[in-house]
Amino acid sequence: MKQRKKISKCISLLLSSLLFFSLSLSAQEKKKIRFKRDIKPEKVVVDSVARTELYQGLFVGIDLYGLGNKIFGGDYISSEVTIEVNLKNRFFPILEIGYGSSNFTDETTQISYQTKAPFARIGLNYNFQYKKKNLSYLYLGFRYGFTSFSYDLSSPDIEDEIWNTETTYAHTGLQSNAHWIAFVAGIKVQVYNQFFMGWALRYKSLLRVKDNIQGSPYYIPGFGTNNGSTLGISYQLIYQF
C-alpha cells in the first residue's frame, strides 16, 4: 500500500509539473502574441500617415516629338511645356502649354495654309502602379484642349480661259478657335535620380472648330490636322522637383 501511495504521489507530482510547464509556455506565447500585436498598430499608423500625404512632388517636362514632327514627314511644328502635380502618387493633375505653327501647301489644289498660335490643355493622369515604390509607372489620362488663332489661305492666280482674266485667291487673318478632348495612355520611366522620360499615345476628338466661308483651317495648334479625330504621340524629357 505504501508503495502504491508513493507511486501515486510521484505521478501526481509529475502531472502537476507538466501542467505548470505547459501553463508557463502558453503564458510566454501569449506575451509574444501581445507584443507582436502591440507593434503592428505602430507600423500601420506610420504607413497610413505616409500614404495620406497629399503632395508628393512636381514634374516639369518638355515635349520633343512636336519639335521633330517635320523631320518625320509631318506638316507642322509644335513645342510645349508640361507641369504635373503628384497627389498621393496616384492622381496627377496636369497643365500643358505650347505653341504650334504650320506652313503647308496642298499638292493637288496648290492652296497654301499658314498659321501659328499658342494652345493649352488641362487634364488628369491616373497612376495604376501607385502602391509600388518604383517611380516608373503606367498611366491613363484625359485632356481638354483649346486654342484661338488666325490663319492665311492663298493659291496661285486662277485663270479664266473664257474671259482671259485672272482671279486672285488670298485671304489673311481669318479668325478661328477650337476645343477638343483627348484620351491618353502612357509610360513614365526614371532615368537617373530626378530625371525621367515619358512616352504617350493620344486619341484626340474635336468638340468644336470655327470655320470661315473662305475656307476651313487645315491645322489646329495643339490638336493637329483638322479632322474629326486623330492620333498623336508625345515624347518628353521630365524633371522632378
The answer on pLDDT for 27 being more than 70 is no
Q: Does 47 share its domain with 164?
A: no
Q: How many domains does the chain have?
A: 2
pTM of the complete model: 0.75
**Domain boundary pick from 18, 36, 52:** 52
Q: Name residues whose C-beta falls within 8 Å of residue 204's C-beta, 6 or more positions apart in sequence.
A: 145, 180, 181, 182, 223, 224, 229, 230, 231, 232
Q: Does 69 share its domain with 44?
A: no
Query: What's the confidence (pLDDT) of residue 134?
Result: 78
Q: For residue range 146-203, what is the model confidence (pLDDT) as tens digits?
A: 999 999 999 987 776 677 777 778 999 999 999 999 999 999 999 999 999 999 999 9
Q: Does 40 share its domain with 143?
A: no
Q: Does 218 share its domain with 171?
A: yes
Q: Does 170 share its domain with 150?
A: yes
Q: Name residues whose C-beta falls within 8 Å of residue 58's C-beta, 6 or more positions apart in sequence.
A: 83, 84, 85, 86, 240, 241
Q: Does 150 share its domain with 96?
A: yes
- The pLDDT > 70 percentage for the chain reads 78
Q: For residue range 210-219, what is the model confidence (pLDDT) as tens digits?
A: 999 999 999 9
Q: In 3D, which of 180, 173, 166 has the Cα closest to residue 228?
A: 180
| Residue 13 structural domain | 1-52
Q: Does 120 share its domain with 21?
A: no
Q: Does 151 share its domain with 189?
A: yes
Instruction: Indicate which CATH number applies to the domain containing 164.
Output: 2.40.160.20
Q: Does 105 share its domain with 208?
A: yes
**Domain boundary pick from 52, 74, 92:** 52
For residue 13, give the H/E element and its range.
Answer: helix 2-51
Q: Does 139 share its domain with 210?
A: yes
Residue 239, helix vs strand vs coil: strand
Q: Does 184 share its domain with 229?
A: yes
Q: Does 23 share its domain with 120?
A: no
